[in-house]
Amino acid sequence: MLRDKLLAKKPGIISYGMTPPKATNTTEKIAEIAQKQCERLRDLELDALILYDVQEEADRIEQERPFPYLQTVSPDTYSKQYLSGLDVPKIIYKCVGNYSEAEFTDWATSDADQDKYSVFVGSSSNRQHVHLGLKDAYQLSKQHNRNLTFGGVIIPERHMTKQDEHLRVVSKMKNGCDFFVTQAIYNVEASKNFLSDYYYYCNENGIDMVPILFNLAPCGSTKTLEFMKWLGISIPKWLENDLKYSSDVLDQSIRHCQKIFEEIFEYGLEKGIPIGCSIESVSTRKVEIDASVQLVKNIKSVLNKKLNHTAVK
């Protein structure tokens, strides 16, 4: 059970992340998309499915968005009405600033007799008007629903400039976060720098580390590459060049994603940090979605091999 694995701080949790379909689709089209997604994911034996709550983020960056923003179906609605046939725990991203205290409380207390999972997301910039802050969301959740297990977001690249991402994480842990999911990563140094400070700070202060799911996303075209950069994903210049000039961008990115995760996971095992993996496709192109599914299989193989080797030791 996902809750048991999270609270036991187990390494090797694996999830798949996706954005619900555009709200402009007909109900028939949404049902068709959901059916294909269920068929694609049903046999992967995932620990969780992550459903994103997408924000426009127009105030976060001045650069024009490579793909137009279109409102999507609510992840709660999509989970309940269209993905009920997929027997896997759903982790719902929640942009808490979009809700009043009453609206958020209603959501938190719904289905209170069942295990519920969420990742709370704050504002995309300090210019964004919010109705509810992250700390308020944490407090309301703990107050109203003990079956709601919630987590937070980590941006390892932010640690390279501000040097305080580990402190942000520990603060969120003290407010009740039992796990974290990172932004998609392509910079192994940024991730390991963060993990190092996280490990030593927790070790020195007697704090139990919680699971961190590192997010991987294959890149299959220069258009997807530009979108990733717009999202704030840090891609080293040498790798950006290799992807741009590669004869097979998708294969190159998959191999790099797997290599990055193996290095991070090995580092986590050495330090006793419970690291897992979440995989997604930021593109709606079938070839990139299929590549993300293949990456799940590759990472599962990596996890099984390394965890079994550790158990033998």
Confidence category of residue 155, pLDDT binned at 50, 70, 90: very high
pLDDT of residue 60: 46
Nearest to 97 by CA among 44, 133, 65, 126: 133
Tell whether the torsion through CA atoms of 187, 203, 121 and 151 is positive or negative.
positive
Per the DSSP assignment, residues forming a β-bridge with 280 are 17
Between CA 294 and CA 300 the distance in angstroms is: 10
**Look-up of token digits 């619900």:** 20
What does the DSSP 8-state code read for residue 98? G
- pLDDT at residue 266 above 70? yes
Q: What is the pTM of this model?
A: 0.93
Q: Which tens digits make up the pLDDT trace of 63-112?
A: 555 556 578 999 999 999 999 999 999 999 999 999 999 999 999 999 88
Burial 125-156 (b: 16+ CB within 10 A, else e): eeebebebebeebbebbeeebeebbbbbbbbb
As a whole number of angstroms, the distance between CA 3 and CA 88 comes to 12
Residues forming a β-bridge with 94: 120
Distance CA 129, CA 13 (A): 35
Per residue in 23-55, pLDDT tens? 999 999 999 999 999 999 999 999 999 999 986
**Which pLDDT score, from 0 to 100, does residue 114 have?**
93
Per the CB < 8 A criterion, the answer to whether 142 and 176 are in contact is yes
252 has a pLDDT exceeding 60: yes
Instruction: Categorize the per-residue pLDDT at 187 as very low, low, confident or very high, splitting at 50, 70 and 90.
Output: very high
Query: Can you tell me whether residue 306 is helix, strand or coil?
Result: helix
Is 274's pLDDT higher than 50? yes
Residue type, 166: H
| Mean local confidence (pLDDT), 136-151 | 96
The whole-number average pLDDT for the span 163-187 is 97
With a cut of 80, say whether residue 312 has pLDDT above it.
no
- Structure tokens belonging to residue 23: 């709200």
C-alpha 282/C-alpha 54 separation (Å) is 12
* Beta-bridge partners for 277: 14, 214
CB within 8 Å of 81: residues ≥ 6 apart? none
Q: Is 278 helix (H, G, I), strand (E, B) or coil?
A: strand
Q: How far apart are CA 244 and CA 224, in angstroms?
A: 11
The CA R_g of the chain, rounded to the nearest whole Å, is 19
Residue type, 239: L
Cα 93 from Cα 274, distance rounded (Å)? 21
Q: Are the beta carbons of 189 and 221 closer than 8 angstroms?
A: no
Alpha-helical runs (H) found in 205-248: 222-231, 237-244
> Long-range contacts of range 301-309, CB-CB < 8 Å, 24 or more positions apart?
302/258, 302/261, 302/262, 302/265, 303/12, 303/14, 303/265, 303/277, 306/262, 306/265, 306/266, 306/269, 307/11, 307/12
